[in-house]
Amino acid sequence: MPVLDDLARPGTDDDAVGGVPARLVAAPGSTEEAAALIAAAQDLTVVIRGAGTKIDWGVPPQALDLIIDTRRLSGVVEHAAGDLITIVRAGTPLAEIALGDQVLALDGPAGSTVGGTVAVNTSGPRRLHYGTVRDLLIGITVVRPDGKVAKSGGKVVKNVAGYDLGKLFTGSYGTLGLITECAFRLHPRPRSLAYVRAKAPAEEAARVREARVAPAAIEIDSASGELAVLVEGTPEGVRERSALLAKLLGGDVADDPPAWWGVDPWPSDGIGMKLSVPLSAVPELAAGGDPVRGSAGTGVLYAAADGITQVERLRAQCVRLGGHAVVLTAPSPVRDILDMWGPVPGLALMRRVKDQFDPGHRFAPGRFVGGI
Amino acid sequence: MSGIEELAIRLRASLGHERVVTDRQELRTYECDGLAHYKVVPALVALPQNTAQVAEVVRACADAGVPFVARGSGTGLSGGALPHADGVLIVTAQMRAIRSISPEDERAVVEPGVINLQVTRAATPHGYYYAPDPSSQQICSIGGNVAENSGGAHCLKYGFTTNHVTGLEVVTPDGAITRLGGRAPDAPGYDLLGAFVGSEGTLGVATEVTVRLTRLPESVRTLLAAFRGTDEAGAATSAIIGAGVVPAAIEMMDALAIEAAEAAVACGYPAGAGAVLIVELDGPSAEVAAQFDEVNRLCEANGAFEIRIAADDAERALFWKGRKSAFAAVGRISPDYIVQDGVIPRTALPEVLRRIDELAAAHGVRVANVFHAGDGNLHPLVLFDDAVEGQAERAEEASGAIIDLCIEYGGSITGEHGVGADKAKYMPRMFTDDDLDTMQLVRCAFDPAGIANPGKIFPTPRLCGERPGRHRGAVEYEGAEVF
Ligand SMILES: Cc1cc2nc3c(=O)[nH]c(=O)nc-3n(C[C@H](O)[C@H](O)[C@H](O)COP(=O)(O)OP(=O)(O)OC[C@H]3O[C@@H](n4cnc5c(N)ncnc54)[C@H](O)[C@@H]3O)c2cc1C
């Protein structure tokens, strides 16, 4: 297996994933090289790693022979400004994608790669206006666990030819194969923006939505009792809209967001949860006693939990409200006894999808829902 | 007794007599969708009233190894709902209830047969609407929209069906009932909802759809700009987008399309226009006012010789009337036509339109263009007269050449009408065998027996469980008349 020998180095302690040591680490430099590597690694269990900012998310792998490091799969392949699209390699850090007066409207932590962002489907405050990865991803190139390269979608925003594999790979946690390239739709960089900050209960989010000012984000932080709204647009429009909101909420217009804006509410060694509920249930969730933070405009919030009892309480509440509660990250003693994903509708079908793509269950084994 | 006869007995027992059609004459009314030159009479039509009945029909098909095809309103333009001669057509026309409109959740829950416009009608009193607006919105079903991932003029700003469906109840091809997504966002696990939307009925039947409702904009302003030709109109489009403006819609019609629309609905567009643009902006009044002036200026700067601004809803409706009736209107100036649906990068518009002109001339046919300029989704209407020897073939050739042109410019063979039976043959021009094979892994997960709408999308079906690369032969459309 010359490709493996050429590309792989032995894993070190730093390469362990959720406490599971990696035997080998390889960083391919192109889709072709990645395909050759994966074709040569047919007997190995594999975990894919970008910048590693979310490598502790999900369940630790059941086995780990090879880490595929995507950071050499890096760079912007194309930025067609007139068409508002870009094609980037998966290992490119989000922060390094320079697009001039356009933006790839994905909120991600500093350093996280494009591929990692797609694979764990992170989102932030601006999801209210711009949507999430699934709404911005218009094409994808992947290497399947059997080493075959496949793409779907393309580089035009409107396209219904064939199945949308980009959606399937979004949030798949590396269990279906390696993402090597992504095409995204872009948005014009807003000429002006402002934040409206107020002490206000989550109920007020509904009034913001009704005000027809088209906010880009509505965030709450129940611990501080604050509500903040992002308004983007033309200078004249932003001035008028933010003034209207400040009056409505009894708050202030500011150039900067509050310190908690878009920040995970858990410490680096804590239990972090993502809660999603129907919009009308946000006030009840926010008033439930457990501090929550996040998008009151879409019903996706985050919480720190201090232990399993709190996880289960929050999960029971979210499920009762018609939503979901997922543990994104947890320290190892808790993780080992915790159900990180909670109830998963459609699990039987998901297993069938996994079996088709990765019949040997070699890619990120055990990391995903239902032990996938 | 034949398989179908046995199936009919079983279905009559569970659905009731009047919901199972086997009379040849009655079956004929379902022989095609909006693409009328493909015709296949189904062996049986089932008209279920609820999810349980759909599951019953699908289970019966699975047991008997009989293919099934779902059908909503039959307005599809790619032969997606073309029946299978030995199969069951599952028609959702009796599943038309709007189950709930919940402005507080920004969601509506509807049955698959509900007509697109009805959702907006039901939501408007609450200050909301359903954003995806195909031109066929007065007749097409939400189930069909889900299957095709339908678009519309306002999808430029608001996205397509896939961006507005948050939950589905589906009957998978084994007859099981499964929920994908729901009212809350971001359900854990694979985004099978995202895979199902746009799968053209090949992964099962959607029996309930949860859609996002969008707040009605505070302000809507529309202008109609007349240009000497499509080059100028295309340049204006690029200038608007380039200026960072995201209009709700930018639609273009060329001279021939305008001629047709005038003949059909007397929309009274400016005389002498070689192309018109309809540009609509919506949102908060303060934003719309600022951007509208800019759009106006950019149209003028790029050669608009007349700009009309809709003074009220009535005038706005008149602008749109010409555009929305354009497809049907083409029937006034040509006995037959083929609608294409290719997509190109928007910046290539002027160049591609010129090359389409050249192609038309070379093939001796006329091509009318009416399309979503903002997102580069062309709808070239290739006009011909079937009665004239050889014209149909030439039109078909021109149409295929236009598709090649779209691919050459990095675009797509279809932007919203779907692949269906009509464009399956073009898929290998856009995708490799491995690409198509990988898509069919999803198919195999949902439908290993290959009974859900077989023969659509993929030119060569994958035998599930087979190692990639080896295919069995392509299916033939029994009785299908392709020109
Ligand atoms: C005049 C005219 C204008 C049009 N304008 C547009 C436009 O602007 N934008 C656009 O996108 N399209 C447009 N279309 C095409 C068509 O209206 C859309 O594709 C529409 O979504 C089809 O809906 P339908 O209910 O008629 O579906 P059908 O034609 O009945 O079926 C379409 C496909 O959906 C599948 N299907 C139907 N119901 C279900 C279900 N419940 N579950 C699973 N699969 C199902 C069928 O098997 C088939 O593959 C236009 C058509 C016409 C005739």
Q: What is the pLDDT of residues B18-63, one digit of tens each?
A: 999 999 999 999 999 999 889 999 999 999 999 999 999 999 999 9
Edge-to-edge, what's the strand order for the sheet holding A85-89? A76-80, A85-89, A178-185, A137-143, A149-153
Query: What does the DSSP assignment read for B419-455?
Result: -TTTSGGGHHHHS-HHHHHHHHHHHHHH-TT--BSTT
Q: Is the pLDDT of residue B352 over 80?
A: yes
Model ipTM value: 0.97
**Angstrom distances, CA of residue B40 to CA of A87, A213, A322, B43, B68:** 42, 51, 43, 9, 13
pLDDT, tens only, A112-143: 999 999 999 999 999 999 999 999 999 999 99
**Angstrom distances, CA of residue B221 to CA of A69, B13, B69, B296, B309:** 50, 55, 42, 11, 8
Among B436, B435, B349, B359, smallest CA distance to B404 is for B359
**Which residues, at least 6 apart from B383, have a Cβ–Cβ distance to it below 8 Å?**
B256, B330, B333, B334, B336, B337, B365, B366, B367, B368, B395
**Which residues, at least 6 apart from B474, have a Cβ–Cβ distance to it below 8 Å?**
B459, B460, B461
Cross-chain CB nearest to A279 (options B105, B194, B434): B105
Q: What is the pTM of this model?
A: 0.96
| Alpha helices (runs of H) in B150-209, residue ranges in sequence order | 155-158, 192-196
**Average of pLDDT values for B244-271?**
94
B207 CA: nearest ligand 1 atom: 41
CATH topology of domain B334-408: Alpha-Beta Plaits (3.30.70)
pLDDT of residue B482: 31
CB contact under 8 A, A188 and B246: yes
CB contact under 8 A, A159 and B414: yes
Structure tokens at B69: 């095809």
Which of B111, B119, B135 to mutate for ligand 1's pocket (most ligand atoms within 8 Å of CB)?
B135
Query: What does the DSSP assignment read for B265-299?
Result: H---PPTT-SEEEEEEEEE-HHHHHHHHHHHHHHH
* Dist. CA B362–CA B58, nearest whole Å: 48
CB contact under 8 A, A160 and B198: yes
Phi-psi region of B403 (alpha: psi -120 to 50; beta: other; left: phi over 0): alpha
Neighboring chain B residues of A178 at a CB cutoff of 8 Å: none
Neighboring chain B residues of A346 at a CB cutoff of 8 Å: 178-180, 187, 189-190, 192
Cross-chain CB nearest to B187 (options A165, A187, A324): A324
Q: Which residue has the tokens 């409505």?
A: A248
CB contact under 8 A, A241 and B284: yes
pLDDT of residue B470: 38
CA B150 – ligand 1 centroid, Å: 7
Structure tokens at B123: 């939501």
CATH number of B98-215: 3.30.465.10
Find the radius of gyration of the CA atoms of chain A: 21
CA B293 – ligand 1 centroid, Å: 37
CA B145 – ligand 1 centroid, Å: 5
Euclidean distance between the first and the last CA atom of chain A, given in angstroms as a whole number: 28
Neighboring chain B residues of A132 at a CB cutoff of 8 Å: 186
CB contact under 8 A, A156 and B187: no
d(CA A154, nearest CA chain B) in Å: 7
pLDDT of residue A35: 98
Chain region(s) in chain B for CATH 3.30.70.2740: 334-408
Low-confidence ranges of chain A (pLDDT < 50): none
Residues with CB under 6 Å of ligand 1 are B 33-34, 69-77, 80-81, 92, 112, 134-136, 140-141, 143-145, 147-148, 150-152, 200-201, 205-206, 327-328, 416-417, 453
Chain region(s) in chain B for CATH 3.30.70.2190: 219-328
pLDDT of residue B466: 54
pLDDT of residue B1: 62
B200 CA: nearest ligand 1 atom: 49
Do A137 and A170 touch, CB atoms closer than 8 A?
yes
**Which residues, at least 6 apart from A52, have a Cβ–Cβ distance to it below 8 Å?**
none
Q: Does B272 touch chain A (CB under 8 A)?
A: no
Chain region(s) in chain B for CATH 3.30.43.10: 3-91
**Average of pLDDT values for B146-169?**
96
pLDDT, tens only, B5-14: 999 999 999 9
Which residues 210-269 on chain B approach chain A with CB closer than 8 angstroms?
A: 215-218, 238, 241-242, 244-246
Q: Does B124 touch chain A (CB under 8 A)?
A: no
CA B64 – ligand 1 centroid, Å: 28
Chain B's closest residue to A296, CA to CA, is B105
Q: Is the pLDDT of residue B477 over 60?
A: no
pLDDT of residue A136: 98
Among A185, A48, A97, A134, smallest CA distance to B157 is for A185
Neighboring chain B residues of A149 at a CB cutoff of 8 Å: 434
* Dist. CA B379–CA B343, nearest whole Å: 9
Q: Does 3.30.43.10 match the CATH number of domain B3-91?
A: yes
pLDDT, tens only, B172-182: 999 999 999 99
Do A144 and A156 touch, CB atoms closer than 8 A?
no
Phi-psi region of A91 (alpha: psi -120 to 50; beta: other; left: phi over 0): alpha
pLDDT, tens only, B288-308: 998 999 999 999 999 999 999
pLDDT of residue B474: 37
CATH topology of domain B219-328: Alpha-Beta Plaits (3.30.70)
Q: Does B350 touch chain A (CB under 8 A)?
A: no
* Dist. CA A350–CA B274, nearest whole Å: 52
* Dist. CA A202–CA A284, nearest whole Å: 9
**Which residues, at least 6 apart from B361, have a Cβ–Cβ distance to it below 8 Å?**
none
CB contact under 8 A, B148 and A160: yes
* Dist. CA B292–CA B288, nearest whole Å: 6
Q: Is the pLDDT of residue B475 over 90?
A: no
Cross-chain CB nearest to A158 (options B127, B179, B343): B343
Neighboring chain A residues of B109 at a CB cutoff of 8 Å: none
Neighboring chain B residues of A209 at a CB cutoff of 8 Å: 106, 215
Chain region(s) in chain B for CATH 3.30.465.10: 98-215
Which neighbouring-strand residues pair with B215? B128
**Average of pLDDT values for B225-253?**
95
**Average of pLDDT values for B451-459?**
97
Q: Could you tell me the domains of chain A?
A: 1-189 (3.30.465.10), 192-254 (3.30.70.980), 265-358 (3.30.70)
Query: What does the DSSP assignment read for A245-257?
Result: HHHHHT-EEESS-
B150 CA: nearest ligand 1 atom: 11
CA B322 – ligand 1 centroid, Å: 21
Cross-chain CB nearest to B435 (options A82, A150, A213): A150
Do B324 and B136 touch, CB atoms closer than 8 A?
no
pLDDT of residue A1: 62
CB contact under 8 A, A155 and B149: no
